[in-house]
Amino acid sequence: LLDLKIAESPQTVDTFLRAVTEADAAAGGVAAAACGIALDQLAVDNPDAWNLVATLAWLGPDPVPLSLLAGPCTAGDPARLADLAAVAHRRGLARIDGDAVQMHPTPAGVVVGPGGNGDRAAAAVRLLRAAAPADPHSRTWRTLLPHVLAATDPARRLDDVVVEVGWLLHSAGSYLKARGEARAAQALFEDAHDLYRTPDELADEQRL
């Protein structure tokens, strides 16, 4: 269950509840409205923690290894990263699970929103491209695969990272093929291939 906490925020409980009541919750409901207010307050109180939360949101719902986040969120400082993850945990926006941190889906949905922000979506893809091994037999792929599938969602605006998306999809397909999951691998290979087709090729297929 979503358990937002404002103990570390200068906002009083009454102020928080009044803001939720006044928020337009028609689209996402009261929970989404509360998350939006909590995220806005975090951005004011601790911008670095907000950046961590935003990065988590774009990497999908599965637990994200802290080692993957150290570079973009804290310039490689693991102690600082742990502190920021603890802030997100205390605010009820994410939970820490061993060496990984997982964001609650409701605030994650508020961060990502419909359509997906191009800059943040592209940053998630670049982060995964830098971390993904070329060897399809690497154990790292087991951890990265759900994040790769989330970050390469075609509903997101990824025009600036088409090459990176294609590489990730093909490499993820190679990993699945190595595991004996041929059908799932073929679907990713086809998605990767579609990214490299020219506009003329796509137009010819649509006329068939």
Strands (E) in the chain, as ranges, are: 64-65, 94-97, 100-103
Strands (E) in 67-119, as ranges, are: 94-97, 100-103
pLDDT of residue 118: 77
pLDDT of residue 5: 53
Single out the residue of 67, 61, 66 nearest to residue 85, CA to CA.
Answer: 66
DSSP state of 97: E
Q: What is the pTM of this model?
A: 0.79
Is 124 in contact with 55 (CB distance < 8 Å)? yes
* Cβ contacts of 107 within 8 Å, gap of 6 or more: 2, 35, 38, 39, 53, 57, 93
* Cβ contacts of 106 within 8 Å, gap of 6 or more: 2, 31, 32, 35
pLDDT of residue 115: 59
- Count Cβ atoms below 10 Å from residue 67 Cβ, excluding itself: 13
* Residues of the chain below pLDDT 50: 1-2, 6-7, 11-23, 25-27, 198-208
